[in-house]
Amino acid sequence: MRYLPNVTLEKSGTMKTKLFLKAVFCFFLVVGLNRNVHAFNGPLQDSQGTRNNGMGAANIANTEDSTAIANNPGAMFANTNGMLDMSIGLCNAHPSFQNSLNDTKGENLICALPDFSAMTTPLNGNLKLGVGIFTVGGLASEYRLVNPQYGNQVYESSLMYLNAMPAVAYKLGNLSLGLAVGAAYQSMRLKMPYQLHGGPMQGTVLGADMRMEGVGVCGNAGLLYNWHDFVKIGVVYKAPTKIDLSGTADADATAINAGTAKYDVQTTYDWPQSLGGGVSCKLAPTWLIAGDLEWINWSKAMDGMGVDLSNGNSAKLPGAVSDEFPLDWNNQFIYRLGLENKTTSKLTLRCGVTYCNSPIPNNTVIPILCTITEWSGTLGMGYAFTEAVSLDLAYMHAFNHTQDTDTSLVGTDYDNSSIALSADTLYMGLSVKL
């Protein structure tokens, strides 16, 4: 177990900041044990930050805390304070799958989405620094299904995608520019009967359990223009991230009387580039409206995923197997709209709506990779305990969306099937101004 080093803080509010850092440590100790997450823009989270998630996840010109590091680093100057921000989302997804052998709901999973970030007050008036660790995306599903070859089987997926990024923002008059570059970490598990799509074993179904992890480089750049403190306009570009995953795989070939085997497994997972723009506008002293439009380039990142098995230990199965997992995802456009009302000096109320087309085509969607929701509604509130400490709460409901498959490119066991998904997520965030 790692412990936080002793920290000496010399400014006023030292005790408050020390207590906050202790809370951060306990927070990550607890939620770090939960490696399952679920997200809504494909396997990407819609936004970082509880306040934004209460406003339809509108974030590009609307972020006012240190989660700007992930949302739009140019927005770090939307707030002239230094900030410490910690949040967690708890997601309960409701998937279901139906075909000729199954009419089943997925397991009831509660998944954690933790974030922590901080940024300085302006240095020399026009420079800000920040750092954050963000659960940017992932998914988690588990089913008990009947497979035509293997009978009753557990189908399971678990994917976690984290970004740890330092950031810098520079202010030029009413324009601020920001850049964040850091490390990306991904873990992934896929457990299911897997149909091979090429080679001498094409069409063969193996029971597969693959566990992999890897690291890569992530980054984003953005700007925020403040027009008369009335309208803010933001633009953000998020660079593609390539992560080489490696690990181990168990293969079950008892359906073809070839026993079982263990392999080393490798694949490359591509996270997409995206480009977005947003506007936030004060309608009145107590009213604010914000909206985003974002494009995600899934078609380039998720055209297919090569899977390489090597060093097999079975005499009945090949020592090495290479296959291409079909994906063929579509690009995604995301529309976000949020409203905020400062109801009293301490209480703020929020609401919003989000729409994004499902990026997964009908012929490659499968029950354990079904991030297909399109419409979401949100509610939120903020409460300022003091001028420095505030608590935000948000609720997001992703409405049920169904996709039907006639002929699947993934496997014949998904032919003539139907998949549905809805989800509910609660967010809580704590912010401290420095």
Q: What is the mean pLDDT of residues 28-55?
A: 67
- Mean pLDDT, the chain, rounded, equals 89
Which pLDDT value is given to residue 34? 43
CA distance 168 to 56: 27
| Residue 48, pLDDT above cutoff 70 | yes
Q: What is the mean pLDDT of residues 11-31?
A: 43
Which pLDDT value is given to residue 139? 84
When comparing pLDDT for 314 and 28, which is higher?
Answer: 314
Which pLDDT value is given to residue 44? 86
Q: What digits encode the pLDDT tens for the residues 91-110? A: 999 999 999 999 999 988 88
Q: End-to-end alpha-carbon separation of the chain, Å? A: 29
Which pLDDT value is given to residue 153? 92
Which pLDDT value is given to residue 16? 45
CA distance 263 to 266: 10
pLDDT more than 70, % of the chain:
90
Which pLDDT value is given to residue 208? 93
Q: What digits encode the pLDDT tens for the residues 189-248? A: 999 999 998 888 888 899 999 999 999 999 999 999 999 889 999 999 999 999 999 999
For residue 154, the Cα-to-chain-centroid distance in whole angstroms is 24
Q: What digits encode the pLDDT tens for the residues 357-410? A: 999 999 999 999 888 999 999 999 999 999 999 999 999 999 999 999 999 999
Least confident of 24-33, 131-140, 221-230, 353-362: 24-33
When comparing pLDDT for 138 and 428, which is higher?
Answer: 428
Q: What digits encode the pLDDT tens for the residues 139-188? A: 889 999 999 989 999 999 999 999 999 999 999 999 999 999 999 999 99
Which pLDDT value is given to residue 77? 95
Q: What digits encode the pLDDT tens for the residues 249-263? A: 999 999 889 999 999
The alpha-helical segments, DSSP class H, found in 279-328 are 298-301
Q: With the C-alpha atoms ordered 40, 59, 177, 231, is the resulting torsion angle positive or negative? A: positive
Please name the residue that has the structure tokens 């607890």.
30
Q: With the C-alpha atoms ordered 56, 62, 67, 69, is the resulting torsion angle positive or negative? A: positive
Which pLDDT value is given to residue 199? 82
CB 360 within 8 A of CB 366: no
Please give the sequence-ordered ranges of beta strands (E in DSSP) within 318-384, or none if there are none. 321-326, 332-342, 347-356, 375-384
Which pLDDT value is given to residue 201? 86
Which pLDDT value is given to residue 246? 97
Instruction: List the domains of the chain with CATH numbers.
Output: 34-433 (2.40.160.60)
